[in-house]
Structure 1
Amino acid sequence: MPEDPGIAELADLLEAAAADVPARAGETGHTARTLLTGAVEDLRAAARLGGLLPAVTLWHLHRAMEQEHAAHQHLHPRAPTG
């Protein structure tokens, strides 16, 4: 096991653990293996997005600042000078 695994490594470890879970006869629905497999898929999806999260966060922050500025201008229009 890596000393400080990243999210992709955690997905690999969890996938190996899911493969070792024995299937129980007559078990239907959300088995332990099914739940672990779902968690592996979620971890892999998060790993794919990992590099994009800072850019997406900055974009949303920028848009929020633009919207706040536009709302402020709408609520507090500058009086004409002259």
Structure 2
Amino acid sequence: MSLRWGENGISTIFLAFLVGQLANVAKDSPGLGTLAIVVSAVVDFATAPLAGLLSDRFGRRRMNERGSLRRLMRLVPGRRGGL
């Protein structure tokens, strides 16, 4: 439980820093960064039960492996919107 709190605390600090940087450095509206965080939280809230159901059906390890592979593929340039 404490590890989860620590992870969320660092994530919150990072997101607050990111919104500040978006407003100051990129000269974008501060509301844009806040809106992105809120939309992200809503999507996460909506998809978490689905991920839990899939994990129960196919196994946590298999779902984590597939999710990690998808994320890795997105990092490779030229592959599905990669860098």
Same fold by TM (over 0.5)?
A: no
Structure (1 or 2) with the greater helix fraction: 2
Q: Relative contact order: is structure 1 or structure 2 higher (C-alpha 8 Å, sep ≥ 6)?
A: 1
TM-score (norm 1): 0.34
TM-score scaled by length of structure 2: 0.34
